[in-house]
Amino acid sequence: MNLAALADIPRQYTSLAEWLACLVYILPARRTAGWRFWLAAAGVLAGQTVFLVLTDDVPLALWIPCMLGAVGIMFAFILFSCPGGALAAGYSCVRAFLLAEFAASLEWQLYYNYVAVTGADLVPVRLVFLSVVYAGAFGLMFLLEKRSRPRQMRLSIAGRELAGALVIGASVFFMSNLSYIQIVTPFSGQYVGEIFNIRTLVDLGGLAILYAYHLQRVELQMRHELETIDAILRSQYVQYQQSRESIDLINRKYHDLKHQIAALRAEPDAARRAAWLDEMESDIIAYEAQNKTGNQVLDVLLTGKSLYCQKHGIRLTTVADGTALEGVSPMDLCTLVGNALDNAIESVRKIADREKRLIHVSVARQKSFVLLRFENCYEGELRFEDGLPVTTKADANYHGYGLKSIRRTAQKYGGTVTVNTRKNWFELKVLLPLEGHEERE
């Protein structure tokens, strides 16, 4: 048996490894993968295989450009299959390329050693090695990727994170393939077995380093999101306290004004003044009656937002049973109601037609649940990820945490958050169980 004929990995095996590696990072990021996706994926596999087979015997000077072409196909596959943009696709492409290099190298090295021992090069045995090693390598990495990807969080990749991944990937690829370029170096191997050992072990080390780098990126982003959400929680609670102080002051002023009106009525006045005083008193009664929901915290929140809406030409209507929210802590209630109303106010303020600046809030019991519903008009198109609309602000990395904090707070009480849109009408529903409202850690 001529072992020299097995010195190179078959190009079909390499294309399959690169395709499977892309799927490892595509599938956890996709919400659905229907027949159209799998049809396109099959086309990518066919194209990748044809490209690698046709470039099998190119001169050494064209080897690197051809490898970049194969990586380009992987990048395009990931870019058009996953959300996140070019930076995130490039980051996943580097990880997929190293994974493919390791899996292909490991599988072929094991088969090469098998042939060296037994002297038998059989196609069925090749397929067994290919199936077992690829299933183990890519299956394990798929599980690790799903485990390291927090639910409802999309990893944000900046230029420097991508640059760091590229440096690691390029360094590993260079060192693992150095023996194919120049054998007269302290880090090269002269025999096929040595070259396989170097390539597989270097690829394994590089894959481990890049995975550790990825875990650190996930941890840093999670920490940043939690700090941002906590800051939003504190901010909403501070707003609530400020609103309560302002409303208390207004209540005292109106209370004093009622006594002044009573004193004026005791004096002989003209009919016009009496009518004017009647109007003032009716305004005071209307003010005292508004936003009396049975929950002091909710009253303060709704009244404070109502005053803001009146100032900016926004019509806010409320039908709320605040007693259903007695089990929700003041800070969590500030998070739920404050963020929801802030998002609604920000949305309707962009509408030029003041007649469409409408917000409706309702809080009601539904069997063993309490339903908080926030509805408002909106203009433009909304794009959704993980069930929540994506922020329309230019700096997406530092916005869009309001709805995340609402969902996080609802989940703490065993509740859910859903968002629906229809005919430029936005609806946010928060469903909380009435029983067991004790705060969960």
Chain segment 200-243, per-residue pLDDT in tens: 888 899 899 988 888 888 777 777 666 666 665 666 666 666 55
Chain segment 119-170, per-residue pLDDT in tens: 888 889 999 999 999 999 999 999 988 887 765 556 677 788 888 889 998 8
Token pair of 311 as six digits: 């100032």
pLDDT at 38 over 50: yes
Nearest to 6, CA basis, from 115, 165, 104 = 115
Read off the pLDDT of each residue in 387-412 and give the average, rounded to a whole number: 66
In sequence order, what are the residues at sequence separation of 6 or more whose Cβ sits closer than 8 angstroms to the Cβ of residue 142? 23, 24, 27, 28
The residues pairing with 363 across neighbouring beta strands, listed in sequence order, are 320, 372
Token pair of 131 as six digits: 């199936």
* Distance in angstroms (rounded) separating the CA atoms of residues 301 and 236: 10
Chain segment 67-102, per-residue pLDDT in tens: 899 999 999 999 988 877 788 899 999 999 999 999
Chain segment 306-329, per-residue pLDDT in tens: 877 877 888 888 889 988 988 888
* Distance in angstroms (rounded) separating the CA atoms of residues 402 and 409: 11
The pLDDT of residue 180:
60
* % the chain with pLDDT above 90: 26
The pLDDT of residue 173:
84
